[in-house]
Amino acid sequence: MSDIDDLIDPALLASLLDEAVEPPPPSLRARVLESARRTSRFVRFAPLIAAALDVDEASASAQLACLDVAERWTPAVLEGVTLELQVARVGPAVADHSAQFVRVAAGTAVPMHEHPGAELTIVLQGSCHDFTQGVTLRPGSEQHMPAGSAHAFDIREGAPFIALLMQAPAGR
């Protein structure tokens, strides 16, 4: 993992607190662990996600917090690629767009495919290399693909790839 925020794991934090030379008082330990559980490791992306989805930052933060909940992911196959999805809630300005968070295993190749409508990708975790455009996308990267464009990419080794994908209606 290259992103330090991906290393903040409540289980790891609990282990570190237990092994401290001078363990914290039980009440402090409980507060620290509760804070780690409540705060999504993706919260730093809330302003970017809020703007893309046309929602407030609180809604974006709540949606980002769900990305670490295994039961929220739905298995799917798109363009022959096995992945997992969470439907994103959008505001009125993009109500006609398809919006979902996607999680794809590291090492996955996504074959050439076309976008009938414009597509926005915002990377939250992992990385991918777009062969068509010759760019590597990392956490915080945005890629805008115009309607009718096509590309192929692969998910780099390491953490699973998690991103927000938004597609405009065909021709837009």
Q: What is the mean pLDDT of the chain?
A: 87
Domain with CATH 2.60.120.10 in the chain: 43-167
Distances (CA, A) of 135 to 31, 131, 132, 142, 150: 42, 7, 8, 11, 14
Can you give the pTM of this predicted structure?
0.77
Q: pLDDT value at position 4? A: 38
What pLDDT, on a 0 to 100 scale, did the predictor assign at position 143?
A: 97
Q: What is the mean pLDDT of residues 84-100?
A: 97
**Fold (topology level) of 43-167:** Jelly Rolls (2.60.120)
Query: pLDDT band for position 154 (50/70/90)?
Result: very high
Residue 46 CB coordination number (10 Å): 21
